[in-house]
Amino acid sequence: MYYVMMPSHDIRRNLATEQYLLNERTFDEPLVLFYIQKPCVIIGRNQNVRAEVDLKYAKEHQVVITRRLSGGGAVYDDLGNLSFSFVVNAEHDSFGNFKRFTQPIIDALHEMGATEAEVSGRNDLMIDGKKFSGNAMYIKNKKMYSHGTLMLDVDLDEVSRVLTVSEKKLASKGTKSVRSRVTNLKPYLAKEYQEITTEAFRDRLLLHLFNAETMDAIKMQEYHLTHTDEQAIDQLVTDIYANDAWVFGEEPKYTIKREEKFKGGLIEANISVEKELITAITIYGDYFSQKDTQEIANLLVGCQYEQEAIKQVLEPIKIDDYFANVSKDEFVQLLVD
The pLDDT of residue 119 is above 90: no
Mean pLDDT estimate for the chain: 89
Q: Specify the DSSP element, H or E, that contains 309.
A: helix 307-314
Q: What is the DSSP letter of 185?
A: S
Residue scoring higher pLDDT (249 or 231): 231
Is residue 268 within 8 Å of residue 258, measured between CB atoms?
Answer: yes
Question: How far is 327 from 318, CA to CA, in rounded Å?
Answer: 10
Q: What is the pTM of this model?
A: 0.79
Which contacts qualify for 269-278: CB closer than 8 Å, 24 or more apart? 269/334, 269/335, 271/305, 271/335, 273/305, 276/304, 276/305, 276/306, 277/302, 277/303, 277/304, 277/305, 278/302, 278/303, 278/304, 278/305
Residue 123 or residue 59, greater confidence: 59
Residues 6+ apart with CB under 8 A from 113: 188, 189, 190, 191, 193
In whole angstroms, give the CA distance from residue 311 to residue 328: 8
Please say whether the dihedral angle defined by the alpha carbons of residues 98, 102, 106 and 109, taken in this order, is positive or negative.
negative
How confident is the model over 189-215, as a mean pLDDT? 95
DSSP 66: E
Query: From CA 318, how far away is CA 316, in angstroms rounded?
Result: 7
Amino acid at 202: R
Q: φ, ψ for residue 287 (rounded to 5)? A: -70, 165
Domains present along the chain, CATH in parentheses: 2-247 (3.30.930.10), 256-335 (3.30.390.50)
Q: Taking Cα atoms as reference points, which of 250, 288, 289 lies closest to residue 270?
A: 250
Mean pLDDT within 289-303: 93
Share of the chain above pLDDT 90, in %: 69
- Please write the tens of the pLDDT for every residue from 62-89: 999 999 999 888 999 999 999 999 988 8
